[in-house]
C-alpha cells in the first residue's frame, strides 16, 4: 500500500504569459469561434500554468481571482506578476506599501492554484544589498493560511554576482532564469523551486523553437526537478554552487514575448517532450 503521508513529487509546469491575445485565435491556439470568455478555460486545459501579466498593470479584485480559480481545472496553477508600483522604483523600500496592497488585494482567492509571485525589477535598477534585503524581509512566508513562493526577476547585470545569490538564498527567494538577449541570465538556484522565462521563440519555427532546443529545455527542466543544476547554464556564483539545495523541486517554465504567436505551440511542444 502506498504511504499516504509521502510528499507529492515535484512537478514541471509549462505555460505562457496571459491568455487574451488576438493572434492566438482562429485556430492558431484557440479553436475558431471560441468566445473570448472561454479562452482561460481552454488554455488551462492545454497547459499546466499561466503567468498572469495583467496584475503588473492593474489591481484586481478578489472576485476576479475567485473567477479565475473556478474556470481552471484541479491541479492547475497561476503565477502572478506583482503590481509594478511595488518594484518599479529607484529604491525598493519606497514600494513597501504598494507591495502590501498587492498581497492583500485578494490573491489568496486562488487557493491551491496560487503559484509563485514574480517581483520584476526595471532594467535600470542596480543591485543594492541593503535595499534588497529590506525588501526581502517584507515578503511574508504565508498569507491567509497559504504558503507563498516569491521569485525575483532582476534586469540589470549588477545582480549577476555572488553577493546577490547568497542574499536571495538566505531569504529563500527564487531567481527568474531569464533566457533573453537583453537581460542577465542567472541560473543559480536560490529558492525551493525554479522559475524560467524563455524569450527566444521564433516566428519561422512552427513550434517556436527548433526541436533540438526544446529537447535541451526538457533536459534542463528535468535536471532542475531532480535537484540538479544544468551544466550548460551560467552561474553568477559558481564557487558556492554547492550551497544550493539539491532536493527535488517544482519547476515553472513560461514562454514569454519574442514571437508571441508561437508561444502556446512552444509550451505544448515542451510538454510533449517532457511526457
Over residues 135-151, the pLDDT tens digits come to 999 999 999 999 999 99
* Predicted confidence band of residue 8 (pLDDT cuts 50, 70, 90): low
For the stretch 202-224, pLDDT in tens is 999 999 999 999 999 999 999 99
Residue 9 has pLDDT above 80, yes or no: no
Instruction: Say if residues 274 and 221 touch (Cβ distance below 8 Å).
Output: yes
For the stretch 226-246, pLDDT in tens is 999 899 998 999 988 777 778
All three cell numbers of 193, joined, read 523551486
Q: Structure pTM?
A: 0.95
CATH code: domain of residue 39:
3.20.20.410
Task: Establish if 2 belongs to a structural domain.
Answer: no
Backbone angles phi, psi at 15, to 5 degrees: -160, -160
Task: Establish if 5 belongs to a structural domain.
Answer: no
- H/E element holding 130? helix 129-138
Instruction: Say if residues 51 and 256 touch (Cβ distance below 8 Å).
Output: yes
Say how far apart CA 180 and CA 199 lie, in whole Å: 5
Domain of 76, in residue numbers: 12-274
For the stretch 89-128, pLDDT in tens is 999 999 999 999 999 999 999 999 999 999 999 999 999 9
Task: Establish if 3 belongs to a structural domain.
Answer: no
- The 8 Å CB, 24+ separation contacts for 39-46 are 40/68, 40/71, 40/72, 41/71, 41/72, 43/16, 43/19, 43/264, 44/71, 44/72, 44/73, 44/76, 45/73, 46/264, 46/268
* Predicted confidence band of residue 63 (pLDDT cuts 50, 70, 90): very high
Task: Establish if 7 belongs to a structural domain.
Answer: no
pLDDT score for 14? 98
For the stretch 153-178, pLDDT in tens is 999 999 999 999 999 999 999 999 99
Number of domains in the chain: 1
Residue 195 has pLDDT above 50, yes or no: yes
User: Which residues make Cβ contacts (< 8 Å) with residue 127, sequence separation at least 6?
Assistant: 154, 156, 158, 159, 161, 163, 164
Task: Establish if 135 belongs to a structural domain.
Answer: yes
Task: Establish if 233 belongs to a structural domain.
Answer: yes
Task: Establish if 4 belongs to a structural domain.
Answer: no
Mean pLDDT, rounded, of the chain: 94
User: Average pLDDT, stretch 13-41?
Assistant: 97
Task: Establish if 246 belongs to a structural domain.
Answer: yes
Amino acid at each position: 500500500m502506498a504511504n499516504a503521508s509521502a510528499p507529492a513529487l515535484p512537478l514541471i509546469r509549462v505555460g505562457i504569459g496571459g491568455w487574451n491575445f488576438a493572434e492566438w485565435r482562429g485556430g492558431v491556439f484557440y479553436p475558431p469561434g471560441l468566445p473570448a470568455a472561454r479562452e482561460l478555460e481552454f488554455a488551462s486545459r492545454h497547459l499546466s500554468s499561466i503567468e498572469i501579466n495583467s496584475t503588473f498593470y492593474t489591481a484586481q479584485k478578489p472576485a476576479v481571482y475567485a473567477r479565475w480559480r473556478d474556470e481552471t481545472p484541479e491541479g492547475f496553477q497561476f503565477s502572478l506578476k506583482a503590481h509594478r508600483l511595488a518594484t518599479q522604483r529607484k529604491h525598493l523600500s519606497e514600494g513597501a506599501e504598494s507591495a502590501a496592497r498587492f498581497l492583500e488585494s485578494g490573491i489568496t482567492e486562488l487557493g491551491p492554484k496560487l503559484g509563485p509571485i514574480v517581483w520584476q525589477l526595471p532594467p535600470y535598477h542596480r543591485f543594492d544589498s541593503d535595499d534588497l534585503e529590506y525588501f526581502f524581509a517584507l515578503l511574508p512566508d504565508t498569507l491567509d493560511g497559504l504558503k507563498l513562493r516569491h521569485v525575483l526577476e532582476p534586469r540589470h547585470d549588477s545582480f549577476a554576482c555572488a553577493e546577490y545569490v547568497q542574499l536571495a538564498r538566505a531569504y529563500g527567494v527564487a531567481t527568474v532564469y531569464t533566457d533573453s538577449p537583453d537581460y542577465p541570465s542567472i541560473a543559480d538556484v536560490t529558492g525551493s523551486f525554479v522559475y524560467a522565462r524563455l524569450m527566444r521563440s521564433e516566428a519561422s519555427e512552427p513550434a517556436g523553437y527548433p526541436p533540438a532546443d526544446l529537447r535541451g529545455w526538457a533536459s534542463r527542466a528535468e535536471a532542475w526537478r531532480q535537484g540538479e543544476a544544468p551544466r550548460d547554464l551560467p552561474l553568477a556564483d559558481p564557487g558556492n554552487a554547492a550551497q544550493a539545495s539539491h532536493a527535488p523541486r517544482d519547476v515553472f517554465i513560461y514562454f514569454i514575448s519574442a514571437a508571441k504567436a508561437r508561444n502556446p505551440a512552444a509550451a505544448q511542444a515542451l510538454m510533449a517532450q517532457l511526457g
